[in-house]
Structure 1
Amino acid sequence: MKIVKLPVNLLFALIFGLSFLFSCTENEETIIQETEETDDTPVSLNNEVNEFVWAGLNEVYLWQQDVPDLADDKFTTYDEYYTFLNGYNTPESLFDDMLYQIDVVDRFSYIVDDYVALENSFQGTSNSNGLDFQLVRLSGSDDVFGYIRYVANNSDAASKDINRGEFFLTVDGVQITVNNYIDLLFGSNNTYTLGMADITNNTIASNGKTVELTKTEFTENPILINKVIESSGIKIGYLMYNGFVANFDNDLNNAIADLKSQNINELVLDLRYNPGGSVRSAINLSSMITGQFNGGIFSTEKWNDKYQAYFESNNPEYLINRFTDKLADDTAINALNLNKVYILTTDGSASASELVINCLRPYIDVVQIGTATTGKYTASVTLYDSPNYGRDNANPNHTYAMQPLVLKSANKNGVSDYYQGLTPDYLITYQTSSGATAEGEDLLNMGTLGDENEVFLAKAISLITGSSSKLMDQKSTPSIDIKRIADAKDFTPLGKGMYKNLEFPVK
């Protein structure tokens, strides 16, 4: 789970009022005294951002106690401290070096040099043309191609002739490869032309079609589809929700109200492309699905040793997130009071998506369909270079901010640490031309999102109705063998993150 911001008064209390908890104040006094007494030419700090990075991670990083270089007593003088910081040429290299088992245990902490773009991403706004896609390559080839997963409503791409299930092979006439795809698709070029392609007999080739797309500052409504499907006399609500964005919680509440007004019997929640977002939105959605557990424990939090000790001694309730019956603006939540929900997932379902699944399971029957999720049970906070790490009074000399992991979540029963992701109850697979069984969506049989015959949704409907007719209509022709490279959401500032709505943006 990817971000958490502490309230100003709490940070001030923690940083300035708890000398027993944080030894930085005493250390600084010692450092100043020793420097003044023993060093006529003190070491100068080369990059003030480096000091922000170390101090912030020392303060609140989840694994601070496990990183020797972040220890509270690591330095006894400013000369030692600054010499250490000057050993890193960039804030990014220092940040990475302070992480606990980077890319193994900590796969999600990150630093940005433009916190404005980061803040926009929390609101669902980014520089985007609205095209969501996955990049893959054929086995044994460095050439990359993309396939469209969905087109965001009211986006530039929505106004163009490009649709789910189509393939593209080139950008501005240049073949996409493992070495150039970042520059071609996620570089500074806001306008580019995709060269579309077809796949025939395990071979992909241009079909002559081109589509020009332009990125703008675009706010994507995470509610892509909200509809009711009637099958075998059962009214099934289908909600495709692609991001936990707090600004759209009222829209989400209205979408649930619409399903409720149509007297749905079951709900299929499609989170297969949802990388996470607001913890509060996750709680709200879970409360909308249920409604009968208001005030019950939704999740609990575990922070680093010093913050955990403080919370447990002074405010243990702070570590508990509870089901609610109101949104942040006190709007009453529209609750479905369901005892079962069907949730569609892929490895792109991360963070707050996983939080919903894990935290609903102790209360209702959660039927997970698709493939295993990402495996992100942690959250991080937005740290700015200011006296209390908040946005106010941030250092005007730069726009760096950090997103270090600061807590991990568990459900009511203490279940956490699902590092390998959450395993589906019903795994979606397909056969490839090599005879292998692959998991997830078949590129050659993507179907139409929200259609009863689309493979993931068809499986949910068959479980609800007890009928296999929809599944029998699926294509049996072997598909192609591919290796997944990346997807469009990997390159948004938020990424696969989760944030809490406190006084500051939280992820």
Structure 2
Amino acid sequence: MMRKVFYFLLLATAFLASCKKDKKDGLVPSKNGSTLDLVKDSVFLYAKEAYYWYDGLPSYAIFNPRSFSGGSDIAALNNELNAISQYKINPATGFPFEYYASIPGEAKYSFIDEGQVSTELNGTNSNFGFAPFYNDANDLRIKYVYPGSPADLAGIKRGYQIISINGNSNLAYDGGSGTHTQFVINAYANSSTITMKLQKADQSTIDVTLNAANYTTNPVLTYKTINAGNGKIVGYLVFNSFTSDANADAKLDAAFNYFQSQGITDLVVDLRYNGGGYTSTAEYLDNYIVPASKSGSIMYNYYFNDILVNNFKGIDDPLLSHQFRRDDKNQLYNYAQFDYTVAGNAVKFSKKGSLNLSRVFFIVTGATASASELTINNLRPHLDVQLIGGTTYGKPVGFFNININKYELYIPEFETKNSSGQGGYYTGMTPGAATYPGIKDYDDATKDFGDTTEILLHHAINFVKRGVYSVPATRIQGLAGKLKTFSVEQSNEAGIIVNANRFNGMIFNGNLKKK
């Protein structure tokens, strides 16, 4: 059973949140209307109370939640969230905090679904079990395959080139809203069946037809050790999702027990496609990496908005009083009964295992988000943290899901900062920048995970051997031998876009303390 878990009750009062008074407006939304109208009201009114940037939102009357529409109910609700997300401006950038450069006007963090994310992060996926990646504008690849998934059972491997999908070979990257790109996204992310022609490294081809199916997610795609010479043993771990503790912890235990038995001197954690997940799993991973001398010291702090911190002062019947979870003593309380102060939500290190590392390498890309970035940021004050790859997604905020009727609402309710007060990486972490030591270079999807000739892993091994990074790799494609047309930044952007509807987030599932 999950060590730290949400326990929500679906109450009629939460569904009828639209009947609550908007204190800032002096307006009571109508109790009349369709179910969708009432859910739209609830989304906005919960945001006015719990959203980290609630103070940037207009009144209910000006915003008019019921005015938003879409091709489906869920599309209409996400269009409402897109609008909510664009009000509060980040003074450091001049853009909204939730500005999504690849698709301006869409929320970078907020979304609503019907429980799919909760299911996925608790270890059950229902899809093909692979994801595509534009290695270059005209070079579409398989970037990973989950063990036990339909793709794995069909023999598909990372690095295979995708020649055609559903008989269509016009797959060249043409931007976020481009016809070809959208075809690829819809085929693999929004369909239940897909047919592909794939080319292997030896130039042979295979034809596969996959049907989406349920399988248990193993977030550890692989782990191994690499002998770098001169007594240097490198542990290499590919961690692809911060699923629940119940799903992830045992897999991490196996990897780190092996690393300890092999006496590794250095560690490379590959988070290049890890979009995040539960904060408790990030803590679990950090506790394996942090030096033993730091056990008991602050790992990171949560920062909630002033409504929550000030105990809902001036609000007679908080909407969050109709959302429930268990505290650290397993007693059931509503969300208005918890302590949201910084002091009340400090997380401390609790060292696991016997590794005593002074340095850790993280392989990252634009798909590295949220709980992955939290993992990295937590360790920065305590050992030498090196980043290799592309600029990360940029999500220093997270959420707890809010139940409204059959939907689960995710809006940022908190920001995190490490023990040195570092955070605010809304534009991502760039390897090689002044505050993020390392090297920026291309993701190399032509090679399998753990191949020491793969560009990003090669950089880490070279640094272990020589104490310096090699010159960024020659920009050629693995099979065709042609010069790359993508810059690192373009490759990063394409990776984010084709990531499609994959979850990017950081879900609070720690132990709130009762105030």
TM over 0.5: yes
1:352 to 346, 352, 371: 371
2:451 alignment partner, SS class: coil
Aligned CA distance change for structure 1 residues 245 and 292 (closer, same or farther; 3 Å): farther
Who is 1:273 aligned against? 273
1:407-446 equivalent positions in 2, closer than 5 A: 407-425=414-432, 439-442=441-444, 446=446
CA distance in structure 2 between the partners assigned to 1:487 and 1:31 by the alignment? 40
Matched, 1:343 2:359: no
1:324 alignment partner, SS class: coil
Query: Any idea what the Cα deviations from partners look like across 1:134-155, whole Å, max 9, x if unmatched?
Result: 14773xxxxx762111222222
Aligned CA distance change for structure 1 residues 178 and 463 (closer, same or farther; 3 Å): closer
Question: AA paired with 1:186?
Answer: A
Question: AA paired with 1:305?
Answer: D
- Any conservation in 2 of the 1:65–1:305 contact (CA below 8 Å)? no
Pairwise CA RMSD of aligned residues?
3.8
1:172 to 166, 172, 176: 166
Aligned CA distance change for structure 1 residues 145 and 105 (closer, same or farther; 3 Å): same
CA distance in structure 2 between the partners assigned to 1:469 and 1:105 by the alignment? 34
CA distance in structure 1 between the partners assigned to 2:402 and 2:428 by the alignment? 27
Say how many residue pairs are matched: 428
- Any conservation in 2 of the 1:129–1:218 contact (CA below 8 Å)? no
Unpaired segments ≥5 residues, structure 1 = 16-23, 36-41, 75-79, 139-143, 200-205, 326-332, 386-394, 430-438
1:384 alignment partner, SS class: strand
CA distance in structure 2 between the partners assigned to 1:28 and 1:470 by the alignment? 58
- Any conservation in 1 of the 2:387–2:439 contact (CA below 8 Å)? no
CA distance in structure 2 between the partners assigned to 1:316 and 1:113 by the alignment? 29
1:99 to 85, 93, 110: 85
1:187-202 equivalent positions in 2, closer than 5 A: 187-188=190-191, 190-196=192-198
Question: AA paired with 1:241?
Answer: F
- Any conservation in 1 of the 2:135–2:443 contact (CA below 8 Å)? no
Matched, 1:219 2:216: yes
1:75-474 equivalent positions in 2, closer than 5 A: 84-89=64-69, 90-101=76-87, 104-106=96-98, 107-115=107-115, 117-135=116-134, 138=137, 146-175=140-169, 176=171, 177-188=180-191, 190-196=192-198, 209-232=206-229, 233-246=231-244, 247-290=247-290, 291-310=292-311, 315-325=341-351, 333-385=352-404, 395=405, 399-425=406-432, 439-442=441-444, 446-466=446-466
Q: Offset of 1:173 from its aligned partner? A: 0.6
Query: Any idea what the Cα deviations from partners look like across 1:212-237, whole Å, max 9, x if unmatched?
Result: 22221122211111112222132221
Q: Offset of 1:479 from its aligned partner? A: 2.9
1:415 alignment partner, SS class: coil
CA distance in structure 2 between the partners assigned to 1:112 and 1:458 by the alignment? 39
Q: Offset of 1:400 from its aligned partner? A: 1.6
1:67 to 57, 71, 86: 57
Who is 2:485 aligned against? 481
Q: Offset of 1:7 from its aligned partner? A: 7.9
Q: Offset of 1:129 from its aligned partner? A: 2.0
Q: Offset of 1:492 from its aligned partner? A: 4.6
Who is 2:320 aligned against? none
CA distance in structure 2 between the partners assigned to 1:279 and 1:50 by the alignment? 28
- Any conservation in 1 of the 2:249–2:281 contact (CA below 8 Å)? yes
What percent identity do the matched residue pairs reach? 25
- Any conservation in 2 of the 1:145–1:170 contact (CA below 8 Å)? no
Q: Offset of 1:243 from its aligned partner? A: 1.2
Q: TM-score, normalized by length of structure 2?
A: 0.73
Q: Offset of 1:67 from its aligned partner? A: 1.2
CA distance in structure 2 between the partners assigned to 1:489 and 1:503 by the alignment? 35
CA distance in structure 1 between the partners assigned to 2:483 and 2:218 by the alignment? 32
Query: Any idea what the Cα deviations from partners look like across 1:96-136, whole Å, max 9, x if unmatched?
Result: 22224488421433333412x22112213222222132147
CA distance in structure 2 between the partners assigned to 1:5 and 1:469 by the alignment? 41
Q: TM-score, normalized by length of structure 1?
A: 0.74
1:292 alignment partner, SS class: helix
Larger radius of gyration: 1
Question: AA paired with 1:301?
Answer: Y
Unpaired segments ≥5 residues, structure 2 = 15-19, 70-75, 89-94, 99-106, 172-179, 313-337
1:448 alignment partner, SS class: coil
Aligned CA distance change for structure 1 residues 470 and 153 (closer, same or farther; 3 Å): farther
- Any conservation in 2 of the 1:455–1:471 contact (CA below 8 Å)? no
Matched, 1:501 2:509: yes
Who is 2:323 aligned against? none
Aligned CA distance change for structure 1 residues 285 and 218 (closer, same or farther; 3 Å): same
Query: Any idea what the Cα deviations from partners look like across 1:334-374, whole Å, max 9, x if unmatched?
Result: 24132211221122211111112111010111122222211
CA distance in structure 2 between the partners assigned to 1:271 and 1:120 by the alignment? 21
CA distance in structure 2 between the partners assigned to 1:26 and 1:170 by the alignment? 53
Aligned CA distance change for structure 1 residues 250 and 355 (closer, same or farther; 3 Å): same
Question: AA paired with 1:105?
Answer: F
